[in-house]
Amino acid sequence: MEFSRKIEEKWQKKWEKAKIFEADPDPSKPKYYVTVAYPYPNSPQHIGHGRTYTLADVHARYMRMRGYNVLLPMAFHYTGTPVLAMAKRLADNDKGLISDFVNVYKIPREKLKDLSDPMAMARYFHQEIKNGMKEIGYSIDWRREFTTIDPHYNRFIEWQFQKLRQGGYISRGSHPVGWCPKDGNPVGQHDTVGDVEPEIGEFTLIKFRQDSLVYPAATLRPETVFGVTNIWLNPNSTYVRANVDGEQWIISQESVEKLVHLSRKVKVTATVEGKMLIGKHVENPATNTSILILPADFVDPKNATGVVMSVPAHAPYDYVALENIKKTPNKLKDYGIPAETIDSVKPIGMIEVPGYSEIPAADAVKKMKIQEQTDPKLEDATKEVYRHEYHNGRLRRNTGKYCGTPVAEAKDRVKKDLIQDGKATTMYELLNRPVFCRCKTECIVKIFEDQWFIDYGKPEWKALAHRNLDKMEILPEELRQEFSNVIDWLHEKACARKSGMGTRLPWDKEWIIESLSDSTIYMAYYTIVKHIKANRLQPGQLTDEVFDHIFLGKGEAKKIAEKVNLDTKVLEQMRSEFTYFYPLDSRHSGRDLVPNHLTFMIFNHTAIFPEDLWPRQIATNGSVMMEGAKMSKSFGNIIPLREGLTKFGADPVRLSVMSTAELLQDADFSPTIAKSMRDRVERLYKFVSELMKASGKRRTTSQPLTAIDRWMLSRLQEHIKKATEAMDKLAVRKAIHGVMYGLDQDFQWYQRRTAQHSGKRKLAIAHVHHQVTDAQVRMLAPVAPHACEELWEMMGGEGFVSLSSWPIPDESKVDIRAEENEALIASVLEDTLNITKATGATPKKIFYYVAARWKWQTWLKALEKSMSAKIAQKDLMKELMANAEMRAKAEKVSKFTVQITDDLNRMAEERKKRLVQIKLMDEAQALKEAKNFFEKELSAEVNIYDEEDAERYDPRSRAQVAKPGRPAIFIE
Ligand SMILES: [Zn+2]
């Protein structure tokens, strides 16, 4: 029989029937609570989705085997725009989406019509995703499943928001938010194409004037206003003359809508082509100098106001544009600008930076050999100049009162002063534009008035979040800083909108809580939903008082229960189940959720729960590539998860996504890898079948173990230790590689070494086989649970391997001497093969000469000395010559010490420690025990002598080159 999908299904049924993943409080066992971000049911899952969930499952399974009472629940996130937008696209007959659903995901075409209703879509994909999770074998407690639009869950979220409001964490006001002008809704990362978080920045608009007309130039570097040589406008764009808050502005047509969304009063009075404005003069408000308006194609009318100030000394883009324009004076003739005029426009250096000339932009452009405005290297040049100026630059004398001010400080001061003097204002803009809403409309910034916000900007709250982060385990640790930065820069977040599915704000019912705000503490809800369902509680019974009692221990159970007509016992059970499983031990998600969901989770827990119930660990992972390429519909390389499971099997898919990358790296899936994983599973399967046939189940032995047996068992302990350390850090790839390949390599060597055994050894060898496969199966069980269950059963294991214990390294089986013995045999074999390969001769007889006793004594002495410091041959000799026996062969000893000094000085400390422990090794005995093995491997007669054995056959005097651990070899 071979390993098959049928076997996987068999075990899934058995698990379900035995309810082994249904976790209830058990005071006799330590608990471990793992959750993973619940999915939006807006499409079927593909292989890429499998990674985060599989990692969480592997983690849960591992902890279960480590003796914990593990809870891994799952729910579905109906709230927010992901489901809504997808249903809308179907309703709008989006051809691309329909083609994906029909061709990639094989959804029946006639089904699509129903799915254009958001609720129908959510229900459909909910079931689809759930089936996939079962088919891949996740150890989920399905009794706790819920959706975010269940009325009971709504009550829970209402309670959460009341808590936030009572704690002063909710504010109402006007703040800039990412915005979809078509939907009229704020947009966050989960609402945009490609899951991009809209980054809002504040531009300074410096008012360059032409009489009463204002040209508001948008800049992120207001301090460079002193170096402005000209204004850039795009000659091919349309500009408008508009009354903005009482002033006459010239701005791009595209910026009008943006300014309106930023709460400015805008009235367009005329349109004017960009080219008509070129050649005019405006006045720099900071220096009162008159400057020219010049044409530039790189000016993007969609970015801020479409009016750009030019600082060629400090902005590489401006520098290159100005140089280019000077080279083609003819183009300027059309605008009536004479060549002499343009020649007189010279960069004005106004920041002094060590290591740069007066014109830093020119230095960078020359260094990077940039010629054209379209050169992508301009971006690097800009960053480089800015970095140096920001950190080391000071303003020059031509900046007046700012002279000597560091750039980092001048930036804010100049901006503040200009605004105060009415010479500038500000404008919010997306720094990472264009960002598109899921409805394909480009997002903008809106000052959202009278909106409800969660105020992540509160300093006291940030302090709490930092405190939680400091105590928390972050896997991998390298992401800690990123979390810390996110905590620092988070500010007010719009938490509600007017449309969609979800929970209404309890105090202002026209608002619906959005999806990154209703998903921050739901891990707590999993602990009680089981009771809500089993006792058919009504949403109305779940009052704030009830939740206060369950989650915060407030009030008296009996009184509270009576008030809502609830069995006191049920309320007490909910409270005790919550306190049993909380705090959350590990939260899993992809790393893209660091800047929002995961950090929101930290914040919200610290706002609502006491410190001992704050989450303890966050584990994040990278994504999945498909044969080295990003998985994308446009590449047509998406494999739906369930299709992958049918094609390759659950264990091979799990192994593939887990074994090709450590946490943060991108895993690389390919059918070839999945097939090779399948082969490995089958090989193991075959091996165990044969082992069972040959030796039966669980054979122990009274036969004595030989050095090679002890070697294998000793190596096994090392592999167990390494795999355990790796799993503790969720370095699953490392663990799989150690257990699958490292251990296998040793095991194959063992089989090779014991292939020629006498019948008397049969049971001892079978015993070792059992020990190895037993540990290997248990260590693979978290990743390949189905195959391991089957193997476990074949091997006569008790119960489910999923509930068995993870192997513990047995120190008493660690045998360094056996390991060093075996290292000797392996290296002698390798040396011999190298010689025969080099000479090309077929050997008939092989002679090994092991080092004489005095060499061992000398070598051990040198080894001990080398433990503390590097040894010098001279000192070593001096010590040895104190011994009369050594003095008698002083010349030989001297020659030998020269040979070994370097070797020892280079040897790794770890190895030295082992050798010092073993001391003298009986090499002759070790080689003699392996004589049959050598003869079979080398197809020649093997003879073993001591180097100084008078009887030895040694026609070429090879014996004398023997060193401890390195016998001399002679071949005939
Ligand atoms: Zn939209």
Cα(201) to centroid(ligand 1), Å = 21
d(CA 512, ligand 1 centre) in Å: 17
* Cα-Cα-Cα-Cα dihedral sign, residues 321, 324, 329, 334: negative
Please identify which residue in the block is written with the tokens 């122990």: 700
At 208, list the tokens: 């360059």
User: From the CA of 494, how far away is ligand 1's center (Å)?
Assistant: 16
CA of 701 from ligand 1 middle (Å) equals: 72
Q: Which residues contact 216 (CB under 8 A, 6 or more apart)?
A: 205, 206, 207, 208, 249, 251, 305, 307, 425, 427
CA of 180 to the centre of ligand 1 (A): 5
Report CA(53)–ligand 1 centroid distance (Å): 29
* Alpha carbon of 447 to ligand 1 centroid (Å): 17
Distance of CA 237 from the midpoint of ligand 1 (Å): 26
Give the pLDDT score at 195.
82
Q: Residue 325: count other Cβ atoms within 10 Å of its Cβ.
A: 20
Q: What is the DSSP letter of 356?
A: S
Return the pLDDT at 633: 62
Distance 125 CA to ligand 1 centre (A): 22
Distance of CA 943 to the CA centre of its chain: 57
Coil, strand or helix at 448: strand
Closest CA to 246 of 266, 216, 218, 269: 266
Here the tokens at position 295 are 């044409």
What's the gap in Å between 440 CA and the centre of ligand 1? 6
Exposure class string for 660-695: b at 16+ Cβ within 10 A, else e: bbbbeebbbbbeebbeebbebbbebbebbeebbeeb
Q: Which amino acid is at 756?
A: Q
How far does residue 24's CA lie from ligand 1's centre (Å)? 44
Of 630, 670, 638, nearest to 653 by C-alpha is 670
Residue in 579, 489, 573 with CA at minimum distance from that of residue 535: 573
Q: How far is the CA of 89 from the centre of ligand 1 (A)?
A: 11
Distance 695 CA to ligand 1 centre (A): 67
* pLDDT for the residue 911: 86
CB-CB contact of 424 with 222 (8 Å): yes
Alpha carbons 655 and 786: distance in angstroms, whole number: 12
Strands 238-244 and 247-252: antiparallel
**87 C-alpha to ligand 1 centroid (Å):** 13
pLDDT at 18: 98
Label residue 704 left, alpha or beta by phi (over 0 means left) and psi (-120 to 50 means alpha): beta
CA 441 – ligand 1 centroid, Å: 5
Question: Per-residue pLDDT tens for 196-243?
Answer: 889 999 999 999 999 999 999 999 999 999 999 999 999 999 999 999
Could you identify the residue written with the tokens 């800049």?
Answer: 219
Contact 736, 655 (CB under 8 A): yes
Rounded to the nearest angstrom, the distance between the alpha carbon of 179 and the centre of ligand 1 is: 8
Q: How far is CA 571 from the centre of its chain?
A: 39
- Write out pLDDT tens, residues 470-512: 999 999 999 999 999 999 989 899 999 888 899 999 999 999 9
Q: What is the pTM of this model?
A: 0.83
The amino acid occupying position 314 is H
What is the identity of the amino acid at 673?
I
Count of C-beta atoms within a 10 Å radius of residue 948? 15
Look up tokens 């000052």; give the residue. 447
CA 438 / ligand 1 centre spacing (Å): 6
Q: Which residues, given as ranges, of the chain have pLDDT below 70?
A: 1-2, 632-635, 698-699
The rounded Å distance from CA 703 to ligand 1 centre is 75
Peptide bond into 785 cis (omega under 30): no
Task: Tell how far the Cα of 77 is from the centroid of ligand 1, in angstroms.
Answer: 20
Q: How far is the CA of 189 from the centre of ligand 1 (A)?
A: 13
Q: What is the reported pLDDT for 777?
A: 96
For residue 544, which of 141, 156, 127, 150 has the smallest C-alpha distance?
A: 156
Give the largest CA-CA distance in the chain: 115
